[in-house]
Amino acid sequence: MAESMNKYETIFVIDSTKTEEEITALVEKFKSLIEKYGEIESIDEWGKRRLAYPINDLTEGYYVLVNFKANPDFPTELERVYGITDGIIRDIVVKREEA
């Protein structure tokens, strides 16, 4: 399994109108999902930041950056779960090149 793992980076933005408990629950949800299918290298919670442009009338979001290793088919599933999760307003998953 480990031989076919690629390195990825994902940033997701949580609706900043959510409570602290809801934000923590969403971060934990995605942390455990990534751990289930891969290996987390680092998590960096940037916290509340101003959005570059309003999204659904929101001007702030709670940003979380995760670097992880996973099989090539996992990012598609991760993006699917982002898409159906209430409270996620933006997300991106990028494959990192080996340095």
Instruction: For residue range 48-95, list pLDDT tens digits in order.
Output: 999 999 999 999 999 999 999 999 999 999 999 999 999 999 999 999
Sheet of 88-95, strand order = 38-55, 58-70, 6-15, 88-95
Residue 27, phi then psi, degrees to nearest 5: -60, -45
- Domain positions in the chain are 16-58+70-95
The rounded Cα 41 to chain-centroid distance in angstroms is: 13
The pLDDT value recorded for residue 1 is 46
Q: pLDDT by residue (tens digit) across 4-25?
A: 899 999 999 999 999 999 999 9
Instruction: Return d(Cα 45, Cα 99) in angstroms, integer.
Output: 24
Q: What is the pTM of this model?
A: 0.92
* DSSP H helical ranges for 9-59: 20-37
Task: Please choose, from the candidates 62, 26, 23, the residue with its C-alpha nearest in 3D space to the C-alpha of residue 46.
Answer: 62
